[in-house]
Chain A
Amino acid sequence: MTDTAILERMEKRLAKRHAAERRFRLMGLAAIVLSLGFLALLLVIMLKNGLGGIDWNFLTSSDSTEPANAGVWGALKGSLWTMLVTLLLSFPLGVLAAVYLEEFAPRNRWIEIVEVSINNLAAVPSIIFGLLGLAVFINTMNLPRSSPLVGGLTLALMTMPVIVIAARNAIKAVPPSIRDAALAIGASPVQTVFQHVVPLALPGIMTGTIIGMARALGETAPLLMIGMRAFVATPPDGITAPSSVLPMQIFLWSDEIDTGFVQNTSAAIIVLLVFLLVMNGVAIYLRNKFEVNW
């Protein structure tokens, strides 16, 4: 073979390899475009179907058999009550558990079991929490069915591990020098943690809490188990009144045969997504504003 022939073959081979390189790169780009395109399609379809349905009447009235009269206020109020119960339970419990595990817990078998069970609870399917709520809160403790109390308790058990994990990471990020300084001027370990470490970790804890709450707000499956799918035409005025929640309202309307409910369903989805967007926006803002790089 002559030198030119070898050179030619080499160049051909190189061109082929570079073409493969470009193809691979394009495939990566295509994967991202496809994923984000799906998200965009979903949002556009919901906006197209639902934007016309959002007016003052829709935001202030409750469920109705008549699509034109139906609104989200009743479900929204149910969601707010449920979230209130969830927050009041899961936030203190989650933060206290995280403080204990991160700052005080001795390293032994028991604590290991606690840690493993927290990590596993964060990955348990949400519907299992619904089964737990049904078996324990409704059938054993006889708490009122379909109420924000039971819904909030169930979602709190689900949200707590998320808060514990976020709070532990935030507490871990506080440098030991802060603790040493406080201890050196005579603070007790408990004072050190509650007066110095936790306040410094608070932005991270808040971010994790908001993200956990946003997840709980969008959750439907466990609430189906505890019967929060009742037709509720009057907004609930307490945590023991029968109520629905926003995602459940979406689910119930999506089942309606009347085509007028298509607009309602999409409009309710827009309302829910706006809430989630605001919550996540606040979480990102908090993280960017208060995060300290030690």
Chain B
Amino acid sequence: MTQLIVLSALVALALLGWFAGRGKARLFEKDKISTWSRPEYHAAHLALWIAIPALIGWFVWSAIAPGLVDAALMALPIAQQLPASDFERASLLAEAHALASNPDAGSFYPLAQKLAEPIRELRARYDLIGGAIVAILAFAGGAWGFSRLRADFPARTQVERAVMLLLLLASLVAILTTFGIVASLVYETGLFFHKVSPVDFLTGTHWSPGTAVGDDIGDNFGAIPLFWGTLYIGAVIAMIVAIPLGLMSAIYLTQYATPRARRWIKPMLEILAGVPTVVYGYFAALTVAPFIRDLAASLGRDNPSTESALAAGLVMGVMIIPFVSSMADDSIAAVPKAMGDGSLAMGATKSETIKRVLIPAALPGIVAGVMLAVSRAIGETMIVVMAAGAAANLTLDPLDSMTTVTFQIVQLLTGDQEFDSPKTLSAFALGLILFIVTLVLNIVALRVVKRFREAYD
């Protein structure tokens, strides 16, 4: 609430500064003094001087104010009653803070009720101080900006410098995100490996984090069955579906289809990639999985499970078709026309040309496309959550239920949980491995594509 008031007040002040700046700069033009910048730049320069120092001040104040409130609270006589143990003290203070923000919040400690009122008063006092600091900074910045507003002042250069800074900051967000992902995954994984040895995790074959208690918890965190399930569903079953269908679709579209048909069919194939994965997951669970179970039953399997690796893999394969087909499409189109024409001129049929000349020439691109498709498939979550099952089986039978890395991450992190148990931490370790594998697949695939393009350019 306080944030909103301060921010809107600042916006209003900055707008005011903008109009004031433009008004004064227009006077120069009226007096026929030649100016360095247009009035709008003088206006923007002034508005920036009002807003930016004040905003920085407000952020700094928001960061230190809670600490000041706590320090002031400790100085009050009532703080003498706080319990000595650190843990109790922290939870009591947290409760008192929650009560201060929201009087209806439930409370466990009676002392928290008593502390809520002083906290509210202290907060109001420090908010006021913060507001005053922001106001002073805004006016000081404004005065400085206004004093520099003269006809020969290069306002545009200054404003453009600020714009460049903004652009630079925006492009740094991507690095920050990457850094955030790596840091949070590595940090939590480090905590996990304090409790469970990486060797147990990476080489164990027994996965049941739900039952992990006591000293030998490492035995319950063997992730091999998950890696196996992930690869079997994403890199084997899904690819058996996606590679032939995607590749043949691409060949038909580039070599046989009329341009008119191609214009219609290609976007329709792309729809397959645009359908949300939760829809595929529901389709797999509702239609494909029961069908496969009935098929298994009719093949003489007793008691086949509804959740099969085959159902999840099949649907995932269909989802992946457009990825394979568009990469194959691009790589076949990138093969120089002279190669295909040469083969046709020697009397080869079209299909012979495709099989013996075009595909071998386009192979690096197609392989890269398959790698991207695999990285997509192993990171896919909703289809396996809804169709693959939770049992960590280490088996070759596609009709059996299998689990994957993504499924387990979801399983471990949803529902009630404490945040530092090995169970929840293991999800981050699985996430880190998933991140590394997809990253490597992508980097290698992009390298291959790049080299392949260079070879024909």
Chain A interface residues toward B at CB < 8 A: 17-18, 20-21, 23-25, 27-32, 34-36, 38-39, 41-42, 45-46, 49, 92-94, 96-97, 99-101, 104-105, 113-114, 117-121, 123-129, 131-132, 134-136, 139, 157, 160-161, 164, 188-190, 214-215, 217-221, 224-225, 227, 229, 247-248, 250-251, 254, 262, 265-266, 269, 272-273, 276, 280, 284
- Nearest A residue (CB) for B160: A190
Determine, out of B78-86, B114-122, B124-132, B373-381, the stretch whose residues face the partner at the interface. Answer: B373-381
Cβ-neighbour of A25 out of B180, B256, B386, B428 (below 8 A): B256
Interface range on chain B (Cβ under 8 Å from partner): 35 or more
Q: What are 27 A-B pairs at a CB distance below 8 A?
A: A21-B352, A23-B351, A24-B354, A25-B256, A28-B256, A31-B248, A34-B245, A46-B279, A96-B167, A97-B173, A97-B174, A125-B379, A125-B435, A127-B381, A131-B428, A136-B184, A139-B419, A214-B274, A218-B276, A218-B278, A220-B381, A221-B381, A225-B410, A225-B414, A254-B278, A262-B286, A272-B279
A280 and B274 alpha carbons, distance in the complex (Å): 9
CB distance from A221 to the nearest CB of B (A): 4
Q: A25-B252, A114-B171, A125-B438 are in contact. Are A45 and B283 (CB under 8 A)?
A: yes
Pair B381/A126 contact, Cβ less than 8 Å: yes
Q: A35-B272, A273-B275 are in contact. Are A24 and B351 (CB under 8 A)?
A: yes
Pair A128/B351 contact, Cβ less than 8 Å: no
A284 and B267 alpha carbons, distance in the complex (Å): 10
Pair B164/A104 contact, Cβ less than 8 Å: yes
B385: A residues at CB distance < 8 A: 221, 224, 251
Interface positions, chain B 93-133, Cβ under 8 Å from A, are none
B280: A residues at CB distance < 8 A: 42
When A and B form their complex, which 3 residue pairs have the shortest distance between CB atoms, in order from nearest?
A: A125-B379, A28-B252, A218-B276
Pair B248/A120 contact, Cβ less than 8 Å: no
A87 and B244 alpha carbons, distance in the complex (Å): 38
A22 and B67 alpha carbons, distance in the complex (Å): 78
B443: A residues at CB distance < 8 A: 120
Pair B431/A92 contact, Cβ less than 8 Å: no
CB distance from A169 to the nearest CB of B (A): 15
Q: A125-B380, A135-B188, A224-B414 are in contact. Are A272 and B276 (CB under 8 A)?
A: yes
Knowing that A17-B352, A31-B248, A250-B282 touch, tell me 12 more A-B residue pairs with CB under 8 angstroms.
A20-B352, A31-B246, A93-B170, A114-B175, A125-B406, A127-B431, A135-B185, A160-B173, A218-B275, A247-B276, A251-B386, A284-B267
- Nearest A residue (CB) for B352: A17
Q: Is B312 an interface residue (CB 8 A)?
A: no
Pair B160/A131 contact, Cβ less than 8 Å: no
A135: B residues at CB distance < 8 A: 184-185, 187-188, 428
Pair B170/A124 contact, Cβ less than 8 Å: no
CB distance from B316 to the nearest CB of A (A): 12
A101 and B244 alpha carbons, distance in the complex (Å): 38
B171: A residues at CB distance < 8 A: 96-97, 100-101, 105, 114
A34: B residues at CB distance < 8 A: 245
A269: B residues at CB distance < 8 A: 279, 282
Q: A104-B164, A127-B379 are in contact. Are A18 and B349 (CB under 8 A)?
A: yes
Q: Is B388 an interface residue (CB 8 A)?
A: no
Pair B351/A45 contact, Cβ less than 8 Å: no
Cβ-neighbour of B177 out of A21, A27, A132 (below 8 A): A132
Q: A132-B184, A136-B184 are in contact. Are A160 and B174 (CB under 8 A)?
A: yes
Cβ-neighbour of B178 out of A120, A225, A262 (below 8 A): A120
Q: C-beta contact mask, B258-288 vs A, less than 8 Å → 1, else 0? A: 0000000101110110111111111101110
A272: B residues at CB distance < 8 A: 276, 279
Q: Is B311 an interface residue (CB 8 A)?
A: no
CB distance from A258 to the nearest CB of B (A): 14
A120 and B278 alpha carbons, distance in the complex (Å): 24
B272: A residues at CB distance < 8 A: 35, 38-39
B178: A residues at CB distance < 8 A: 117, 120-121
CB distance from B187 to the nearest CB of A (A): 8
A250: B residues at CB distance < 8 A: 278-279, 282
A18: B residues at CB distance < 8 A: 349
- Nearest B residue (CB) for A39: B272
A119: B residues at CB distance < 8 A: 446
A102 and B124 alpha carbons, distance in the complex (Å): 47
A49 and B285 alpha carbons, distance in the complex (Å): 14
CB distance from A267 to the nearest CB of B (A): 12
Q: Is B392 an interface residue (CB 8 A)?
A: no
Q: Is B434 an interface residue (CB 8 A)?
A: yes
CB distance from B317 to the nearest CB of A (A): 10
A109 and B383 alpha carbons, distance in the complex (Å): 39
A9 and B153 alpha carbons, distance in the complex (Å): 92
B439: A residues at CB distance < 8 A: 120, 124
Q: A28-B256, A100-B168 are in contact. Are A21 and B351 (CB under 8 A)?
A: yes
Q: C-beta contact mask, B179-216 vs A, less than 8 Å → 1, else 0? A: 01100110110000000000000000000000000000
Pair A123/B174 contact, Cβ less than 8 Å: no
A269 and B281 alpha carbons, distance in the complex (Å): 11
Q: A97-B171, A188-B156 are in contact. Are A125 and B434 (CB under 8 A)?
A: yes
A161: B residues at CB distance < 8 A: 174
CB distance from A136 to the nearest CB of B (A): 6
Pair B251/A254 contact, Cβ less than 8 Å: no
A104: B residues at CB distance < 8 A: 164, 167
A155 and B343 alpha carbons, distance in the complex (Å): 49
A221: B residues at CB distance < 8 A: 277, 381-382, 385, 406, 410
Pair B248/A251 contact, Cβ less than 8 Å: no
Most chain A CB within a 10 A radius of its CB, from B173, B178, B277, B278: B278
- Nearest A residue (CB) for B372: A123
Pair B249/A35 contact, Cβ less than 8 Å: yes
Pair A131/B184 contact, Cβ less than 8 Å: yes
B331: A residues at CB distance < 8 A: none
A266 and B188 alpha carbons, distance in the complex (Å): 38
CB distance from A5 to the nearest CB of B (A): 21
A248 and B410 alpha carbons, distance in the complex (Å): 13
Q: A27-B248, A93-B170, A126-B381 are in contact. Are A190 and B279 (CB under 8 A)?
A: no
A99 and B170 alpha carbons, distance in the complex (Å): 10
A46 and B287 alpha carbons, distance in the complex (Å): 10
Pair B349/A21 contact, Cβ less than 8 Å: yes
Q: Is B367 an interface residue (CB 8 A)?
A: no
Pair A35/B286 contact, Cβ less than 8 Å: no
A91 and B457 alpha carbons, distance in the complex (Å): 35
